[in-house]
């Protein structure tokens, strides 16, 4: 395509409903040995990642469907502690159907769950740890409070990935070294900011919710000073739609950026 060429997508002309298998194929990989770090976010048309402080108000059934299918494809689901606390995550447990699908594909019945936290302000007795089907990982820093770390050691594998914060490269390496090559990040903005700044993000799945939100909601990526701002070129893989909601998948343009 020439740089000045512009094309119009005509979804109405070729609209056909995708089954779960179609969607899994579109987002899946043919070679799980190749590590992929993917993030999945939702934002309003005007760029807010929250409604009233949470992401739930932006989504809907179609977004939930894609969200769940992306989980199904993952070896490990990673969230920042801020998202865990504000979105009140329970133990990470996929549905029976998703679990059966994974086993049929030769995967473990459940993906791992990894929480990123510098302060370790996490409750070891919470559902996230107490009812986890797979022992969770907590990715932290050397500077973390030793007593909090000791308490979490009983219910999770606590791994240092940096001195004062989890450095994204070390974080990804810690996962890959455990055979967890398909890394799926569900947020939040500060964690995504780290992944972008440290240049480890391979794919971004972005749902555009047909809402104008106004206000002061955060972008999907934040953190760092303006001086740390980076531009990472991405390539469009696909655009799916459900009513006025768009599901856009981008991946790294390695040639352009390296
Ligand atoms: N629209 C969406 O798709 C979407 C997705 C997810 C979340 N959200 C929204 O985003 C908001 C939360 O934003 P947030 O930026 O606070 O989320 P976040 O990135 O999940 O949480 C920030 C916290 O995560 C930990 N963390 C992140 N990166 C770290 C690193 N490199 N090293 C060590 N710890 C790290 C720290 O936890 P400690 O404080 O424990 O050290 C930090 O305070 C919520 O309102 C949530 O609803 C939206």
User: Please, what are the domains in the chain?
Assistant: 43-257 (3.40.430.10)
Place of tokens 């998202």: 83
The alpha carbon of 240 and the centre of ligand 1 are apart by a number of angstroms equal to 27
> Ligand 1 atom 36: the closest Cα is on which residue?
117
Q: How many Cβ atoms sit within 10 Å of the Cβ of residue 18?
A: 13
Q: Which of 142, 183, 191 to mutate to test the pocket of ligand 1 (most atoms within 8 A of CB)?
A: 191
187 lines ligand 1 (CB under 6 A): yes
Q: What is the pLDDT of residue 5?
A: 87
Q: What is the pLDDT of residue 16?
A: 78
The alpha carbon of 85 and the centre of ligand 1 are apart by a number of angstroms equal to 9
> Ligand 1 atom 7: the closest Cα is on which residue?
188
244 lines ligand 1 (CB under 6 A): no
83 lines ligand 1 (CB under 6 A): yes
82 lines ligand 1 (CB under 6 A): yes
pTM reported for the whole predicted model: 0.96
Binned average pLDDT, 10 residues per bin, the chain of 258 residues? 82 79 96 97 98 94 96 98 96 98 98 98 98 98 98 98 97 98 97 95 98 95 75 94 95 65
Q: What is the pLDDT of residue 228?
A: 67
Three-class HEC string of 89-158: CCCCCCCHHHHHHHHHCCCCCCCEEEEECCCCCCCCCCHHHHCCCCCCEEEECCCCCHHHHHHHHCCCEE
The alpha carbon of 214 and the centre of ligand 1 are apart by a number of angstroms equal to 21
Place of tokens 């107490």: 130
57 lines ligand 1 (CB under 6 A): no
What DSSP state is assigned to residue 69? H
Residue 54, classed as helix, strand or coil, is strand
Distance CA 25, CA 39 (A): 17
The alpha carbon of 17 and the centre of ligand 1 are apart by a number of angstroms equal to 34
């Amino acid at each position: 395509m020439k740089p000045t060429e512009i094309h119009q997508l005509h979804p109405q002309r070729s609209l056909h409903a995708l089954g779960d298998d179609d969607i899994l194929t579109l987002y899946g990989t043919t070679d799980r040995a190749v590590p992929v770090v993917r993030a999945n976010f939702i934002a309003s048309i005007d760029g807010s990642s929250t409604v009233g402080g949470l992401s739930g108000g932006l989504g809907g059934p179609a977004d939930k469907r894609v969200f769940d299918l992306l989980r199904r494809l993952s070896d490990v689901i990673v969230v920042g502690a801020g998202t865990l606390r504000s979105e009140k995550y329970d133990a990470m447990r996929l549905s029976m159907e998703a679990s059966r699908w994974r086993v049929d594909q030769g995967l473990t019945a459940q993906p791992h769950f990894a929480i990123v936290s510098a302060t370790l302000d996490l409750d070891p007795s919470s559902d996230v740890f107490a009812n986890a089907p797979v022992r969770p990982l907590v990715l932290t820093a050397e500077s973390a409070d030793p007593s909090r770390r000791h308490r979490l050691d009983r219910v999770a594998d606590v791994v240092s990935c940096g001195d004062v914060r989890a450095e994204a490269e070390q974080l990804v390496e810690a996962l890959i070294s455990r055979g967890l090559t398909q890394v799926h990040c569900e947020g939040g903005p500060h964690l995504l900011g780290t992944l972008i700044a440290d240049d480890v993000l391979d794919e971004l799945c972005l749902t555009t919710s047909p809402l104008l939100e106004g206000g002061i909601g955060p972008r999907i990526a934040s953190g760092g000073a303006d001086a740390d701002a980076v531009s990472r070129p991405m390539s469009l893989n696909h655009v799916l739609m459900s009513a006025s909601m768009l599901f856009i998948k981008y991946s790294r343009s390695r040639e352009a950026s390296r």
